[in-house]
Amino acid sequence: MKKLLFIILFYSTFIFSQVEYKYDSTSNNLPYWVQEMYSSQPDPGKIELLYSDYYKTNKFIKNKHTQFYKRWKRSLSIEIIKKKNQQDNLLVSGQELSQWQCIGPFDFDRNAASTSYAAGAAHLYTIEQSISNTNTLYAGGATCGLWKSVNKGFNWIPLFDTQLMINEVYSLEIDYLNADIVYFSSGSYLYRTIDGGSSFELLYELSFIKDIIMNPENNDIIYICSEDGLYQLNINNNQLITLVDGDVLELEFHPTQVNIIYIVRRSNNKTEFLKSINSGESFNVFDNGWPNPASGDEQRRTEIAVSIDNPDRVVALATGTANGGSGLYGLYVSDNEGESWEFRCCGSQPGGIPSEDNQNLMGWSHEGLDDGGQYYYDLALAINPNDANNIHVGGVNHWVSYDGGYNFICPSKWSWAADSENTKYVHADLHYIKYYNNDLWIACDGGIFYSDNQGDTIHQRMFGIAGTDFWGFGSGFSDGNVMIGGTYHNATLLKDNNTYIQGDTLSNTGEFGGWVSICGGDNYRGFVNFGDGRKVYLDEWGSGGGYELSGDRNIPLEGFTMSVLSNASYTTGESSNLEFDPRCYNILYIGNGDILYKSFDNGYSSIPLYDFSEQVTSIEVGWDNPNIIYVATYAGYWSEKKIWRSDNGGQSFIDITPSFPGIVADNWIPFDITVSSENANHIYIARCPNSLNYNNYEGSKVYQSIDGGNTWLNITGAGLSNENITNIEYHRGSNGGIYLGTRKSVYYKNDSMTEWILYNNGLPLSTYSTQLVPYYKEAKLKNGTNRSVWEVDLYEIANPYAQIAADRLTINCINDTVQFVNHSAMTNNNATWLWDFPGGSPSSSTEENPKVFYSEEGEYDVTLSISDSYGTDSQTILSMINYTNNPLTMEGFDCNGNCQEGFVSAILIAEDSYGDGWNGNYLSIMVDSVLLTQYTLSNGYYDQYNLCIPSNGELCVEIIVEEGGWPEEVSWEINDINGNMIVNGNSPFYDELYNNCPIYGCTDIYAINFDSEANTDDGSCCFGSFYNIVMEDSYGDGWNGNILSIDNFEITLEEVSESEEIICLQSEGTCFNVSCDGGDWQYEVGWYIYNTEGDLIISGGAPYVGCFLEGCTDVSACNFNPEATYDDGSCLFDCTGIEMIDFSEKNEILYITDVIGRKINTIKPGQIYLVNTKKGETKKNISFK
């Protein structure tokens, strides 16, 4: 199986590497995770572990390798193996079904108050402008296919998105005589349209195509640069001939002599410049002055450009490593048609360590002072046709030279988008720059940018392109026009109704109804609070964890703090959702690391509920019974994935993972979970392959249980063939309706259907569904994808399903008012609500979201009856509201804001040395294991908070500071009201105020690990001997299903190369049985068992069957044990004066102790010891040795 998966992964990596070459891959000094990533068959599981281990001890600094890792992981997650039959299947969608519509993002609001420092909206590879009709343009995206504009980029429309299963368009060319004839490539496929995009034809399948160029004087001849060579295609006779072998990167014609053609070819670790003077019949290498890397250096990519202003000039932009530096290798210029080359920039030599005199144009710094960059990923070059000394270079930043390439400036750093006065901003990672007369076009990771004045003013020109690649997506329940999601390349995209502008804001052509790009980097997730639709959540500590929407593009978003953030990953199936209690929109369940957390205050504070020892991913809480909680876990890339259920609100969980053969065979596939709104025991799971397109799990993709996971039914059927599922969502109130998102499309099925329905009418054929979100008020289904967000009518409209919710379930005299909200699945059509609040004021309401005041302590029922055009429903929650003035629910304060009896006033002073808040560090005060209060410094250098802390010294009062980001910046102290310090510390921290907390350990005096200081038994007592088990895997990916069984213990190695575990074994005088078997790749398995003295007792591999026992192995000793396999030095030879124990009696020995009852394994000279037999006898002996 592993070999098969490697083949699939190698295919995916092969496709990815055609876009971006590996960096420094011949170096022996790279971290192990980088070496594995650049290997011929990279194992994602192994790389994940090596990457994680490396950054546990090394500070994360963004560099070319980490950026390659991010893009490589993403390429695996969205990779789709396209086959003709799959495309045909997707085309057969029921045309009578509702039509999907794209609802953006199509652009981003460049000048909004909270705009990201690196704002963008779409990832584009290339753009071309028609020569015959300059208003017509075509553009190619990384995930969104081919696009066309007929008004010079102000508006764009998609081409062939519902006809061709393509995402990436890397190169294209427009016929210079006819703007309707276009050649474009996707991977290795060469296509043509001759009618402006109404129809297409597949011309050839070659290797990966990198450039397409038309002969400037013969539009029947095109040249194709590919990984396997340079081809010439004659359109008239469909004749394709190979002109040059090898990896040809690009081609340029001499501006005035069409018979002269220049190309760049990669040859191993360097590039070559070739020229033809006979229209391509032959090519020669010209290397006089061309880059020639020394041994150990490399130069794998070069862009070339020409200008009619100086037709004999060729400029080459070379990247690689040389002289101790990486990124820009050098900018070279030839003024004699490439016959010889002059090194012009930067510094005095190729590469080198960046400095003010040796700028690196490929790095992140706008001054060129940092090393590296992404120079095999983003690289672009153009020369002004009216001024050959005006050269534009693209890397991470946009650079310009006005003196022929000797000197460069960066007009605007990639991270200056938030400066509203900046008119030269271009998003990071430029892939294409090209002049058409005075029109300058740039395609980059953030979209399309345009200038008509040599870059002095740069405009956005991407409106209409649905190319936002969402990694996560959330949409409002109460307001579906609030949407948010982390994206690949473009920070977090947010829509707040009509707050933001879309279109070219610099040209005043923008219109309201757009999206804004907020925060920074490649963010992961996005969630919206179901009861307070103005609160949104994202995976970014800069905001504290979430934002309160302002509703005004000129007013910044206000961040709020969350104590922990949900797990987030580039890998499918490895992230955790933010789950709400369906009754309360401030009660959150968060998977952070291996722990499931619960928060009662919208995430500001949180308590750990359960430690799974495996990363928490999908979380679902029962609608009709919130005590039922389902959790999926992710132990490692290739490790077994599991599903768990709790029936007591998260206090304990049981494993309910299905054991079907199809699941066991591929148990590394992650799960996504959804639960019926009608019955919390009705659960549905989808298996979502992580980071590779995997078709070997046909027939084992979706399962259903109606008894909480005790038994399972496979409901995959035949309708999901060749689909890789990404997420699953239940249609509340329906007859078991389920929506499935896949790497290509969307499906639906309910209990009355025998098979899944393809629900993709109008959806692009290759659309990766990141997250499906129903919007019941308008009966819509939203789909966050790699092509922006799409929306369609729900497949069916179900009867309304009532659900009561509120901002809090426990109130007191300080907070005595409850904000109730309608959390029902119902439409807005003729909607009505009738609430009943016995004991509250008002006692009833017909508002959708009423406020109710309570005046007395007690428990209160709530009832909601609803109706819409499709039916009625009602719900009653008994004792939903609990009014209590218990001090632990009021953080120790009384109704007047003073400390209650048994509490004293104190002040918490929180400080951060950097001034950006605590970045996820937070301080908790626990009273008898119950959270009293929790604080964090949201932002700034300093703040203080009033506290009430228990004064009763008999209570267990703990101060805990959980470590977050940059803990070294955190300091704090708690003072009494007179300013006297009670306690202070940093992060992490643990202490107790009164030394009255449980001390956990073994409290049994007969155990070998008895702890005299412990006052609370933790179940660790050992009445035998401890043994240390060392497990190894020579490949480093764990034991692949092999289990080591020792006595009653079963242990295995999960996705690492080595691990240790300590077990306690109690001897009865016979061998401990040992076996190791049950999995694959057994020759990789090794294990070693050591005693407490560090002696190796036994070792083996897999398969293995045997036993071990410590004891005396000398037959001449009076305590010889014929079953012992390892001599522990306990042999007794001087038996004078002591009673001999023969073998038959020794077999009856239960254990040997000293005179106070402590079990011993070795009898020392002169020691008195007690032999305890199974018959209940005790014999006293003494050693005279």
**What is the distance between the alpha carbons of residues 134 and 657, in angstroms, rounded to a whole number?**
60
Please, what sign has the CA dihedral across residues 163, 169, 171, 172? positive
Section 1064-1086 average pLDDT: 90
Section 694-708 average pLDDT: 92
Section 751-766 average pLDDT: 95
Of 138-152, 269-283, 1008-1022, least confident by mean pLDDT is 1008-1022
Give Cα separations from 358 to 319, 1086, 1103 (angstroms): 14, 52, 60
Q: pLDDT: is 8 or 434 the higher one?
A: 434
Closest Cα to residue 209, out of 192, 191, 187?
A: 187
Closest Cα to residue 683, out of 691, 695, 671?
A: 671
Q: pLDDT: is 1055 or 629 the higher one?
A: 629
Burial of residue 484 (number of CB atoms within 10 Å: 0-12, 13-18, 19+): buried
Tell me the H-state helices in 301-448: none
| Entry field: residues in the chain | 1185
Q: For position 1140, what pLDDT does the model report?
A: 41
**What is the distance between the alpha carbons of residues 876 and 873, in angstroms, rounded to a whole number?**
11
431, 126 contact by CB (below 8 A): yes
Residue type, 1045: S
Name the token pair of 679.
């019955």
Name the token pair of 8.
């699939």
884, 812 contact by CB (below 8 A): yes
Please, what sign has the CA dihedral across residues 717, 721, 726, 729? negative
pTM here? 0.83
Name the token pair of 336.
């004699």
Q: Name the pairing type of β-strands 903-912 and 942-950.
A: antiparallel
Rounded to the nearest 5 degrees, what angle is found at the Cα of 1145, between the Cα atoms of 1141 and 1147? 115
Percent residues over pLDDT 90 in the chain: 73
pLDDT mean across residues, the chain = 90
Whether domain 897-992 has CATH 2.60.60: yes
Q: For position 691, what pLDDT does the model report?
A: 67
Q: For position 1176, what pLDDT does the model report?
A: 61
Closest Cα to residue 105, out of 518, 414, 397?
A: 518
**What is the distance between the alpha carbons of residues 553 and 570, in angstroms, rounded to a whole number?**
30
Q: For position 1173, what pLDDT does the model report?
A: 60
Residue 558, pLDDT > 60, answer yes
Of 74-88, 379-393, 761-775, least confident by mean pLDDT is 74-88
Section 363-390 average pLDDT: 95
Q: If one looks up domain 1016-1108 in CATH, what number appears?
A: 2.60.60
Residue 1151, pLDDT > 70, answer no
182, 193 contact by CB (below 8 A): yes
Q: pLDDT: is 509 or 269 the higher one?
A: 269
Closest Cα to residue 567, out of 558, 555, 576?
A: 576
Q: Name the pairing type of β-strands 738-742 and 725-730.
A: antiparallel
Question: pLDDT for 419-477, tens place per residue?
Answer: 888 999 999 999 999 999 999 999 999 999 999 999 999 999 999 999 999 999 999 99
Q: For position 362, what pLDDT does the model report?
A: 96
Q: Name the pairing type of β-strands 810-811 and 871-883.
A: parallel
Q: For position 782, what pLDDT does the model report?
A: 99
Name the token pair of 24.
């420094």
Question: pLDDT for 926-968, tens place per residue?
Answer: 999 889 999 988 889 999 999 999 999 899 999 999 888 889 9
Question: pLDDT for 882-898, tens place per residue?
Answer: 999 999 889 999 999 99
Q: For position 1013, what pLDDT does the model report?
A: 86
Name the token pair of 156.
């764009």
Q: pLDDT: is 246 or 541 the higher one?
A: 246
Q: For position 897, what pLDDT does the model report?
A: 93
In this chain, the answer to whether the domains covering 804-883 and 897-992 adopt an identical fold is no
Burial of residue 201 (number of CB atoms within 10 Å: 0-12, 13-18, 19+): exposed
Backbone dihedral region for residue 1002 (phi beyond 0: left; psi -120 to 50: alpha; all else: beta)? beta
Section 4-30 average pLDDT: 51
List, in order, residues 6 or more apart from 457 with CB less than 8 Å away. 423, 424, 451, 506
Burial of residue 1154 (number of CB atoms within 10 Å: 0-12, 13-18, 19+): middle
Residue 69, SS3 per DSSP: helix
First to last CA, the chain: 59
The residue extents of the domains of the chain are 2-89, 804-883, 897-992, 1016-1108, 1126-1182
**What is the distance between the alpha carbons of residues 680 and 779, in angstroms, rounded to a whole number?**
23
Q: For position 58, what pLDDT does the model report?
A: 72
Chain mean position to CA 1026: 40
Q: Name the pairing type of β-strands 851-853 and 858-868.
A: unpaired
Q: For position 662, what pLDDT does the model report?
A: 85
Question: pLDDT for 512-541, tens place per residue?
Answer: 999 999 998 788 889 999 999 999 999 865
Name the token pair of 936.
């964090």
**What is the distance between the alpha carbons of residues 722 and 704, in angstroms, rounded to a whole number?**
20
Dihedral through CA 1129, CA 1130, CA 1135, CA 1141, nearest 10? -140
Residue type, 676: S
Counting Cα atoms < 13 Å in the Cβ hemisphere of 945 gives: 18
Give per-residue burial for 928-954: e unless 16+ CB within 10 Å, then b: eeebbbbbbbbbeeebeeebbbbeeee
What's the fold here for domain 804-883? Immunoglobulin-like (2.60.40)
Percent residues over pLDDT 70 in the chain: 89
Residue type, 337: E
Using 50, 70 and 90 to split pLDDT, how confident is the model at 70? low
Q: For position 742, what pLDDT does the model report?
A: 96
Section 760-769 average pLDDT: 95
**What is the distance between the alpha carbons of residues 430 and 458, in angstroms, rounded to a whole number?**
14
Neighbours of 1102 (CB within 10 A): 23
Of 166-170, 588-592, 1063-1067, least confident by mean pLDDT is 1063-1067
Section 314-325 average pLDDT: 97
**Cis before 105 (ω within 30):** yes
